[in-house]
């Protein structure tokens, strides 16, 4: 299916990738463009944003690259203004920025705990604050926040701050959905399970003896036998952003190969 987002303008925060390959935000930005949306690829790294925008341009679609820091409201507002000026408004807000810090309350220092709050849930607040006025003025829109299966399940890693802040993303999404339902704004979130993206090799490899061990262990935890890919998350994002989901709001959708349905490792 094509053109499900034709005529829409999307802003994707976290549209770059943390390494070679396809991260969730990068895949979402390209998937939106392939469905007809004009896409603002926003990332802390302008090089990463330009790489994603370049892929979209190379496929014959429309995109701009924007640098922004989601922990800074002024930076977000500047990115939103640039996007609105380029595209004449914003119909889709996609939040994909997040980080993990290993450790429970004993091991985790307060600086990193606060950083997780500022980034993982703070970004949802700041981007919504900047984009919602445009959506309300334009008669509606769709917000898709990337949460995590860690919002509702212990997934085997000791990252207290990540569990807490991703749970907050779920409830913040619900709050947005209900407050703005009568204004034509839908808000949903995706809870990816174990996804094979560049991020896991940067942030989680230290938890295992080798990369091969990490991949095998993560595959074994998924009922379908293998980790998902960024394209699985992107496909869900396209659906939730499209008019096919026009009667869906306030949903936290697991994209996890069934992992949220079981307790323990599959064999």
Dihedral in degrees, nearest 10, Cα atoms 4, 38, 169, 18: 120
8 Å CB contact between 161 and 102: no
DSSP code for 195? B
- Catalytic-labelled residue, pool 162, 163, 201, 208: 162
- The answer to whether the beta carbons of residues 134 and 90 sit under 8 Å apart is yes
Closest of 8, 20, 14, 29 to residue 231, by C-alpha: 29
Helix/strand/coil for 99: coil
Alpha carbons 209 and 201: distance in angstroms, whole number: 12
User: Is 162 labeled as catalytic in the residue annotation?
Assistant: yes
Radius of gyration of the chain (CA): 18
3-state helix, strand, coil split of the chain in percent (to 5) is: 50, 15, 35
Nearest to 78 by CA among 106, 47, 42, 104: 42
Phi then psi for residue 39, to 5 deg, are -125, 130
Q: How does DSSP classify residue 118?
A: I
Contact 141, 185 (CB under 8 A): yes
Residues labelled as active-site residues: 162
């Amino acid at each position: 299916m094509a053109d499900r987002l034709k005529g829409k303008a999307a802003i994707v925060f976290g549209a770059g990738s943390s390494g070679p390959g396809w991260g969730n935000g990068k895949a979402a930005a390209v998937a939106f463009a392939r469905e007809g949306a004009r896409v603002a690829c926003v990332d802390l790294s302008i090089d990463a944003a330009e790489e994603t925008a370049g892929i979209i341009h190379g496929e014959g679609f429309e995109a701009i690259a924007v640098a922004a820091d989601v922990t800074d409201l002024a930076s977000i507002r500047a990115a939103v203004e640039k996007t609105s000026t380029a595209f004449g408004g914003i119909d889709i807000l996609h939040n994909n920025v997040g980080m993990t810090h290993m450790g429970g309350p004993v091991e985790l220092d307060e600086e990193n705990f606060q950083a997780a709050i500022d980034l993982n849930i703070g970004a949802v607040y700041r981007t919504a604050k900047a984009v919602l006025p445009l959506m309300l003025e334009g008669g509606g829109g769709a917000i898709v926040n990337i949460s995590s299966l860690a919002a509702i399940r212990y997934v085997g890693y000791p990252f207290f701050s990540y569990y807490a802040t991703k749970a907050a993303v779920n409830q913040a999404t619900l709050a947005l959905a209900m407050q703005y339902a009568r204004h034509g704004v839908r808000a949903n979130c995706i809870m990816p399970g174990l996804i094979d993206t560049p991020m896991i090799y940067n942030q989680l490899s230290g938890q295992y003896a080798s990369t091969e061990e990490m991949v095998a262990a993560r595959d074994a935890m998924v009922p379908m036998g293998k980790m998902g890919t960024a394209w699985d998350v992107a496909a869900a994002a396209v659906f939730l952003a499209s008019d096919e989901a026009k009667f869906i709001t306030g949903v936290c959708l697991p994209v996890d190969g069934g992992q949220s349905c079981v307790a323990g490792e599959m064999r």
